[in-house]
Amino acid sequence: MKNLYFLLVLLTVPFLSYSQLPETYDLRDVDGVNYVTSIKSQQGGTCWTHGTYASMEGNMLITNAWADAGETGEPALAEYHLDWWNGFNQHNNDDTDPPSGGGLEVHMGGDYRVATAYFSRGEGAVREIDGQSYNNPPARHNDSYHYYYPRTVEWYTMPSNSIVNIDVIKQKIIDHGVMATCMCYDNSFINSSYIHYQPPTDLTDPNHSVAIIGWDDNLETQAALPGAWLCKNSWGTWWGNDGYFWISYYDKHACRNIEMGAISFQEVEPMQYEKVFYHDYHGWRDQVENVTLAANRFDLDDDYILEAVSFFSNAQDITYTATIFETMGSNGPENEIASMTGTIEHIGFHTYDFEQPVDLTGLTEFVIQLELSDGGMPYDRTSDIPVLLGASSRTIVDSYAEENQSFYYNPETSAWEDFYNYDDPSGFNNTGNFCIKGLGAESTVGINSYDIDNMQIFPNPAQNMATLTFTAGENGVANIVITDMSGRAVMSINANVASGMNSIPVEINNIEPGFYTIHAEQGSQIISRNKIIIK
């Protein structure tokens, strides 16, 4: 019998206007191209990891990010690395000392917010060939791992017994690929044709995660009106229609559940950031409804560059402004360095790059201030989580916070206050931090050149040349690769050299000015890497 444990799981093709959306759609055959990875067979209560990765893998097929990164075969991510190292379970929680013993039981469930917290920290996703082990925990980190990062995760829902917003969900499937969702699987809700329908009047909560790969507006189901989502399951090809089945548009939970209705993991790419600054280990657990302005302060132990910020939002059609300051003063952030602003259409997780990397050289701290026009300010805190959704059995997942980390502008006092002292309605006081992160890289030589284990590249704009200087190990450095921010190689330099100091002239004529990653490789193993700016 399958273990159907609750998951809290958090998903190009040419754009079609809503009026042009097809009555039937199948991502396995879009003009003869398949954008769905193979059916898998889950172990234990890991459906939430499979629903998540079905979406991420499908997105990389649409964008070609997997192949562009030099990977072979179809995208295949390690569900069980996410299962072991998500940070919410008895195996590991960095916010407790010791980091084991509390929280969810391993292999017994999770959710899409759990998955997104893991990605946002830079812990994963890793490839199946890197860390796929169910019976024993795989290594948490390894220099040989390839990490993949969803820059955007969006949440959509439809109201009960209505298909308002259905065109939004369909368009997102067309644009970004497979979409994660949830259901309450029960034999009484599914017929012999593998069409599932849980009536809205039924009170049973969801217990399973699956992924939407298409739809049929005219399919007759057990509901009064036609229409159903074509879904990918994780119970092997022997189940259902070779591993696939249908869920009625009017099902109680699919595309409707507030936590797991329809979740799209988008812009999945090789992880481009070497350093993630954060205090919210467990990501988005709650929000302060009346706060629109918050900030996280981070200590610096070295010189860094800041390339991007990430955060969660809890409202549609809002404006955000992210501002970097040098320090946190008694009256709020001080000495602005950089700022960006924009709009957000949907609830979810967002990553935004600065136009120019922000140089933090010489600073001992920095502050990221975030302003959101609506929806409150999402934050992490100790959480009381049902082991199964709606069950009486619950577990506490502890979060940790300190003073002088997160701050908010209190509209009631018209002053900045330390969030550590916030009187949390949940009762879990002194555990909260805002979900505001900075992403970047360490720099030991300043903004115009970057050191990589004694390897430096110094652009010479006058000659469109650069000199690459590095110290090779005993066997020399076999290859040096410069990649753009999408992970695509723009230059590969053979450098089969003797050990010791080496200098190689590099023509940068054909490389557009911008921000790049430089890798030193031996065989297929990256032995060092960092960021460079070519001007």
- Asked if the model's pLDDT at residue 486 lies above 80, the reply is no
The DSSP secondary structure of 304-325, one letter per residue, reads: EEEEEEEEEE-SSSEEEEEEEE
417 within a domain of the structure (yes/no): yes
Tokens 């918050």 correspond to 294
Same domain, 426 and 496: no
pLDDT in tens, 260-286: 999 999 999 999 898 999 999 999 999
Same domain, 290 and 257: no
Final residue in a domain of this structure, among 442, 464, 486: 442
Structure tokens at 445: 């030589």
The DSSP secondary structure of 208-253, one letter per residue, reads: EEEEEEEEETT---SSSS--EEEEE-SB-TTSTBTTEEEEETT-SS
Sign of CA dihedral 249, 251, 257, 261: negative
Same domain, 348 and 430: yes
pLDDT in tens, 113-130: 999 999 999 998 999 999
Same domain, 302 and 261: no
44 within a domain of the structure (yes/no): yes
254 within a domain of the structure (yes/no): yes
Greatest alpha-carbon pair distance for the chain in Å reads 76
10 within a domain of the structure (yes/no): no
Same domain, 23 and 78: yes
1 within a domain of the structure (yes/no): no
Final residue in a domain of this structure, among 442, 471, 490: 442
In angstroms, what CA-CA distances link 55 with 35, 37, 365, 447?
A: 10, 9, 37, 37
- Asked if the model's pLDDT at residue 498 lies above 80, the reply is no
How far apart are alpha carbons 434 and 279 in whole angstroms? Answer: 7
449 within a domain of the structure (yes/no): no
pLDDT of residue 521: 63
Residue 534: how many other CB atoms lie within 10 Å: 20
> Looking at the whole model, is its pTM more than 0.85?
no
2 within a domain of the structure (yes/no): no
> Across 66-75, 96-105, 211-220, 440-449, which has the greatest mean pLDDT?
211-220
Same domain, 277 and 262: no
Final residue in a domain of this structure, among 237, 266, 295: 266
Total domain count, the chain: 3
**300: containing domain:** 273-442
CATH number where 521 lies: 2.60.40.3080
Average pLDDT over residues 125-146: 95
Same domain, 50 and 194: yes
Same domain, 433 and 485: no
Three-state SS at 515: strand
**In the structure, what pLDDT confidence band is assigned to residue 8 with cuts at 50, 70 and 90?**
very low
Give the DSSP H/E element, type plus range, for residue 182: strand 179-183
pLDDT of residue 527: 52
Q: Name the least confident of 396-405, 429-438, 464-473, 482-491.
A: 464-473
- Asked if the model's pLDDT at residue 391 lies above 60, the reply is no
pLDDT of residue 390: 43
Percent of the chain scored above 90 by pLDDT? 69
Same domain, 435 and 480: no
160 within a domain of the structure (yes/no): yes
Structure tokens at 405: 């980390």
pLDDT of residue 528: 54
pLDDT of residue 468: 67
Reported in sequence order, the residue ranges of 381-426 that DSSP labels E, i.e. its strands, are 383-386, 394-397, 406-410, 415-418
Residue 212 C-alpha from the chain's centroid: 19
- Asked if the model's pLDDT at residue 522 lies above 90, the reply is no
Give the DSSP H/E element, type plus range, for residue 114: helix 112-120
CATH number where 203 lies: 3.90.70.10
Residue 343: how many other CB atoms lie within 10 Å: 9
How far apart are alpha carbons 63 and 232 in whole angstroms? Answer: 20
- Asked if the model's pLDDT at residue 402 lies above 80, the reply is yes
Closest CA to 65 of 124, 144, 133, 151: 151
Same domain, 240 and 91: yes
How many Cα atoms sit within 13 Å of 293 on the Cβ side? 11
How far apart are alpha carbons 176 and 223 in whole angstroms? Answer: 28
- Asked if the model's pLDDT at residue 157 lies above 50, the reply is yes
Tokens 């249908």 correspond to 246
pLDDT in tens, 300-352: 998 898 999 999 999 999 999 999 999 999 999 999 999 999 999 999 999 99
CATH number where 319 lies: 2.60.120.820
> What is the C-alpha radius of gyration for the chain, rounded to an integer number of angstroms?
24
Same domain, 226 and 338: no
pLDDT in tens, 239-263: 999 999 999 999 999 999 998 999 9
pLDDT in tens, 23-38: 999 999 999 999 999 9
Write out 488-508 in H/E/C secondary structure. Answer: CEEEEEECCCCCEEEEEEEEC
**In the structure, what pLDDT confidence band is assigned to residue 4 with cuts at 50, 70 and 90?**
very low
Reported in sequence order, the residue ranges of 37-178 that DSSP labels E, i.e. its strands, are 148-156
Same domain, 301 and 430: yes
pLDDT of residue 484: 72
Closest CA to 311 of 406, 386, 398: 406
